[in-house]
């Protein structure tokens, strides 16, 4: 069972469900899949980032395999996506917002866990980002697409901000539930603003202006 305080745990479980749902929806729209494929890709999206973190900090078996609420919610998200993929198009905005909740919570909890495992500041931030974007990256790779997190949109950057604020507050001794929620909120707001205004992170000089031809 997770030892997170209740509000963080609630956000974490919400994010797990949202990642399972959104991950499965993304997969089902990219390639033709059967029910097993859809649910598996939903679960990978929801749990994969945490798996990679837990492997690298040697906290095994992964926490989400030891707590039934996590894998059940991830699978439930995948099953709902399988059954209702057509109807869920109308709820795209709501799902994006839920997904941003997951991104924020995963980045904060991931960075805190990595620091707690004895990693230094920079690798702890890196593992926070990996927790947040790793699952979606594995899913995209499995369905034959370049991971969206590597290409477009403010997805990794808000996670980086959330993880960095988390590490900063822990290192300065002011970490606690309020600062964790603050770091998650910062990540969430950047992500949602990026969605609203279609913002993107800088591209290398070579490829600027070639979006149409990409």
What residue ranges bind its own copies (CB under 8 A)? 28, 31-38, 40-41, 43, 51, 55-58, 60-62, 65-66, 68, 71-72, 82-83, 85-86, 117-120, 122-123, 126, 137, 141-147, 149-152, 156-157, 160, 200-207, 210-211, 214
Distance CA 127, CA 164 (A): 11
Give 198 or 205: the residue with its C-beta nearer to its own copies. Answer: 205
Enumerate residues 6+ apart whose C-beta is below 8 A from 213.
none
| List of residues 6+ apart from 45 with CB closer than 8 A | 19, 20, 22, 23, 24, 26, 27, 74, 135, 136, 138, 139
Measured from the CB atom, the residue of 173 and 206 that comes closer to its own copies is 206
Q: Whose Cβ is closer to its own copies: residue 128's or residue 181's? A: 128
In 3-state terms, what secondary structure has residue 148?
helix
Beta carbon nearer to its own copies, 2 or 152 = 152
Q: How far is the CB of 177 from its own copies (least distance, A)?
A: 27
Nearest approach in angstroms of CB 11 to its own copies is: 23
């Amino acid at each position: 069972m997770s030892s997170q305080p209740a509000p963080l745990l609630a956000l974490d479980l919400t994010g797990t469900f949202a990642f399972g749902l959104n991950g499965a929806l993304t997969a089902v729209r990219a390639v033709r899949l059967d029910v097993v494929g859809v649910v598996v890709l939903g679960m990978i999206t929801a749990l994969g980032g945490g798996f990679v973190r837990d492997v690298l900090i040697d906290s095994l078996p992964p926490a989400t395999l030891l707590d039934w609420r996590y894998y059940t919610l991830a699978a439930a998200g995948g099953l709902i996506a399988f059954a209702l993929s057509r109807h869920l198009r109308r709820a795209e905005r709501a799902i994006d917002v839920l997904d941003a909740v997951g991104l924020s919570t995963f980045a904060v909890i991931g960075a805190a866990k990595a620091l707690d495992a004895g990693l230094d500041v920079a690798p702890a931030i890196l593992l926070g980002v990996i927790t947040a974007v790793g699952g979606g990256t594995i899913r995209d790779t499995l369905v034959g697409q370049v991971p969206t997190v590597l290409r477009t949109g403010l997805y990794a950057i808000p996670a980086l901000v959330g993880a960095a604020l988390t590490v900063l507050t822990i290192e300065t001794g002011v970490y606690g539930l309020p600062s964790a929620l603050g770091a998650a909120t910062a990540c969430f707001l950047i992500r949602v603003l990026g969605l609203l205004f279609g913002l993107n992170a800088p591209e290398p000089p070579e490829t600027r202006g070639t979006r149409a031809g990409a």
